[in-house]
Chains A and B, each alone.
Chain A
């Protein structure tokens, strides 16, 4: 029988764990954004080494399943003497992975910036780094906002995989409750619903941000 009481009883715990899901996924997107910007800048640079590295990076992190990446960081980092908590390793891996996707997204944004704008900035005497952080990145973000929001929701979903390497978040907690109560259906459906709500909220915020930014460009 479908046990609604179990859902009500475990909902507070699941919601608490979902806070970790949000923290892990948002921080990995934030770190990944910095990685993605650098990888993308390297890919668009005139240096052949930079372009080669960027292509290699994007191809590797998009070509290997995230689960395998997580397993590598979990089992292999200690082998080379890196002993960090599994949550740190997991967030780092998520960030590296989403960095590759974000680099691809941002590339479209960077290419969409009118070159005259950057020339003008250079004429005004802005340095390379400042042009990147003050002009290129804000414009690229605005141009690619829908894709960036989409990638964020993808990361919320992907963060469920870090349960496999023993990090406590929504999926892991749901697993723990499901195995101790023997009522997996109720618990996993609840967990799924929480993920659905989180992603719905992110999409909503994204759409709000889009409309805000569009007003600004129209002016």
Chain B
């Protein structure tokens, strides 16, 4: 078994492009997923049963089926509904829908963690439903659910690798194709693992610091 790291340095431009795309997918998917998650949680908790039931089904389905199958349905099944998505948009949409289901559960738990007395008090003062969410519930619950949100965000960065299966040119796909054209599987795949590992460690450490900072803020203001 020979080990030739030059294969990686020769293709550094493509690898960097792949990394950039991975990060773009991750950030876009997470951002849209957060919006979906919050919207789903709010609709589930504050509207009637007929609107909540399909949303509950959506969350259960997204959490109960493999991400890969969801991507296949969106990418290969999309044209059936007239949705002719490129691999990239299908991938980002898939990641957002998948993450959104998990995020919605986190947001829901957050909403329920705010004492109902506060909401009653706010309602007594004539504050509207949406304003209560924005000014009373969200600021308090975000501190509580931040670790869970950060955790899910980190998990989503790993899921981006699955997009390589629907031919998105992100990091895994780029490095894998370099590997299969040069037959340098050991170099390329171990490098790939190291990159993800380092990235995950950095993001996790950043999330920990953020949690600590926000926690400190919580200690300062009496609740």
Is A161 in the interface zone, CB < 8 Å from B? yes
CB of B66 within 8 A of CB of A160, answer yes
Q: Which stretch in A26-34, A66-74, A107-115 binds the other chain?
A: A66-74
Contacts of A195 in B (CB 8 A): 64-66, 69
A67-B72 CB under 8 A given contacts A72-B189, A158-B66: no
Is A98 in the interface zone, CB < 8 Å from B? no
Is B200 in the interface zone, CB < 8 Å from A? yes
Report the bound CA distance from A198 to B159 in whole Å: 22
CB of A67 within 8 A of CB of B162, answer yes
CB of A64 within 8 A of CB of B162, answer no
Q: Which of B169-221 contact A (CB under 8 A)?
A: 172, 176, 179, 185-186, 189-190, 192-193, 196-197, 200-201
CB of B69 within 8 A of CB of A68, answer no
How many Å from the CB of B191 to the closest CB on chain A?
A: 10
Partner of B176, one of A63, A66, A71, A156: A71
Partner of B196, one of A65, A75, A189: A65
How many Å from the CB of A24 to the closest CB on chain B?
A: 13
Is B161 in the interface zone, CB < 8 Å from A? yes
Is B158 in the interface zone, CB < 8 Å from A? yes
Contacts of A120 in B (CB 8 A): none
Is A117 in the interface zone, CB < 8 Å from B? no
Partner of A71, one of B66, B73, B80, B189: B189
Interface of chain A, main secondary structure: helix
Contacts of B66 in A (CB 8 A): 156-161, 171, 192, 195
A196-B65 CB under 8 A given contacts A65-B158, A80-B1, A161-B162: yes
30 contacts between A and B (CB under 8 A): A62-B200, A63-B200, A64-B197, A64-B200, A65-B159, A67-B172, A68-B189, A71-B176, A71-B192, A72-B189, A72-B190, A76-B185, A76-B186, A80-B1, A157-B64, A159-B66, A160-B68, A161-B162, A163-B68, A171-B69, A178-B76, A184-B72, A185-B76, A191-B69, A192-B65, A192-B66, A192-B69, A192-B70, A195-B64, A199-B65
Query: Contact residues of B with A, CB < 8 Å?
Result: 1, 60-61, 64-70, 72-73, 76-77, 80, 158-162, 164-165, 172, 176, 179, 185-186, 189-190, 192-193, 196-197, 200-201
CB of B76 within 8 A of CB of A188, answer yes
Report the bound CA distance from A164 to B176 in whole Å: 12
Contacts of B200 in A (CB 8 A): 62-64
CB of B185 within 8 A of CB of A68, answer no
Contacts of B164 in A (CB 8 A): 67
Is A60 in the interface zone, CB < 8 Å from B? yes
Q: How large is the interface on A (under 10, 10 to 19, 20 to 34, 35 or more residues)?
A: 35 or more
Interface of chain B, main secondary structure: helix
Of the candidates A157, A158, A174, the one having the most CB atoms from chain B within 10 angstroms of its own CB is A157
Report the bound CA distance from A60 to B73 in whole Å: 31
13 other A-B residue contacts (CB within 8 Å) besides A72-B189, A195-B66: A63-B196, A63-B200, A64-B200, A67-B162, A67-B172, A71-B176, A75-B186, A157-B66, A159-B66, A171-B66, A178-B72, A192-B65, A199-B65
CB of A161 within 8 A of CB of B68, answer yes
Interface string of A169-196 (1 = CB under 8 A from B): 0010011001000001100110110011
Partner of A164, one of B1, B165, B192: B165
Q: Which of A44-80 contact B (CB under 8 A)?
A: 59-60, 62-69, 71-72, 75-76, 79-80
A188-B77 CB under 8 A given contacts A59-B201, A75-B185, A161-B68: yes
Give the nearest-CB partner of A175 in chain B: B72
A157-B65 CB under 8 A given contacts A67-B172, A76-B186: yes
